Amino acid sequence: MFALRSSTNASVRSASKLIPALAALARFKSTSSATSLKQRVEQLIPEKAAEVKEVKQKYGDRVLGENTVNMAYGGMRGIKGMVWDTSLLDADEGIRFRGMSIPEVQQNLPKPKGASETTPEALFWLLLTGEVPTEAQAQSVTDELNSRASLPDFVIDLIDRCPSTLHPMSQFSLAVNAMQHDSRFAKAYNEGINRKDYWDPVFEDSLDLLAKLPLVASRIYRNVFKDGKHGSVDTSVDYSQNFANLLGFGESREFADLMRLYLVIHSDHEGGNVSAHTTHLVGSALSDPYLSFAAGLNGLAGPLHGLANQEVLRWIVNMQKEIGTDTPTEQQIRDYCWATLNSGRVVPGYGHAVLRKTDPRYMAQREFALKHLPEDNLFKTVSTLYKVVPGVLTEHGKTKNPWPNVDAHSGVLLRHYGLVEQDFYTVMFGVSRAFGVLSQLVWDRALGFSIERPKSLTTEAIRKMFEKQ
């Protein structure tokens, strides 16, 4: 909706017609003279505010969609009730970041020297501005994050005092909440900042938080699963290389590229998923980015959201053990899938609430695997699953989308490079998701979005509503 500006005034009748035009415009490199991301966002705020004002004036009383009783009981799935400008999920095309598909992002966003994947820093510029950054602009985000990458002593002490039996996601959320001690927005709000300037300290908090997340996540990882020894940030390399270094896998250029890919494709997926919606909801109460993101992390920790990739990997490994081979045949996999379904369970990693085709995030990871680990037995099993499972689920008849989603692949890649501690996978997901939800949070405050307060009903109220008709 924003910054991918059309030169025509023709009305748009459907999102599917709008997407190709947006993507075409997003491909143009930024022509702004802005040398910093904050400067560019500040330049764009008046334009975006005017656009939102125009949309509300022209279409404010238009109906976005119909809500049904089943939607109310079914997790509000499909209800059109919030604005999330940084990404849009198309049922057929998958996620688009400011109008750009994942392949377009991979092709058009700048990459560090010697890398084969773009960076979350470049994506962050795209998400906040709707423009493809130049190499210099992407590098400016890297430099800015590196300059802020340090942890307060009390946060280090807090993490180090956590028992190794405390789940990594609980430690992650705890540390993010603790860093709220230094929130610039909380301080500015208490000092009476004008609401039109809210976005400024929210932007600063967001950069501070993003910069510190690899240090927090890696410290938890090294404490819980390794030797408790910790590295430091190298200001000469990008965010993902630093994250790989801090985790202890930095010597592998392939792993660093995997981190770039992982952090980009997991960053944003519209605003209705649990972690994004929670961050947005809590932020709407003017909670600062630390409190808002910590709340989102607690949602991400749920088995139905961020733990899905762990479940996929465990299911595959258990299948291999029960069958008795690392390379099961198509028929063996088919039989195991049916046994899973007939026992009342689901085949994890397949199906999606919105998508009706193979998740482009899955395909991006598959292409990475085909390039770097084609002979890995676990990847071979994942590939055979890709051949077999859609047919089984279609025959089963209870799945609208029988195709794999992002979770069907990510754990396999991490395991190949030696990151086998599955309880840490959701922490990595959280580091990635921060780029998306914090981008939108900046715009929530820049545009003065209201506190979220949907109407709820009791079951009795619903019954009476329709008994009267």
Q: What is the rounded distance in angstroms from the CA atom of residue 428 to the CA atom of residue 430?
A: 5
Q: What is the rounded distance in angstroms from the CA atom of residue 17 to the CA atom of residue 217?
A: 41
194: number of Cβ within 10 Å: 8
The question of whether 407 is a catalytic residue gets the answer yes
Quote the crossing angle between the two packed helices 135-147 and 120-129, to the nearest 10°.
110
Q: Is residue 37 within 8 Å of 145, Cβ to Cβ?
A: no
Q: What is the rounded distance in angstroms from the CA atom of residue 269 to the CA atom of residue 287?
A: 22
Q: What is the rounded distance in angstroms from the CA atom of residue 88 to the CA atom of residue 98?
A: 7
The question of whether 277 is a catalytic residue gets the answer no
Of 230, 277, 352, 409, which one is the catalytic site residue? 352
Distances (CA, A) of 12 to 6, 17, 19, 85: 11, 7, 10, 16
Of 143, 167, 182, 305, which one is the catalytic site residue? 305
The question of whether 230 is a catalytic residue gets the answer no
- Tell me how far apart the 2 most distant CA atoms of the chain are, in Å: 69
Residues contacting 368, CB < 8 A, separation 6+: 257, 258, 261, 413
Q: What is the rounded distance in angstroms from the CA atom of residue 167 to the CA atom of residue 224?
A: 9
Residues contacting 26, CB < 8 A, separation 6+: 4, 98, 99, 100, 104, 126, 130, 131, 132
Of 407, 409, 416, 444, which one is the catalytic site residue? 407
Question: Which residues are identified as catalytic?
Answer: 305, 352, 407
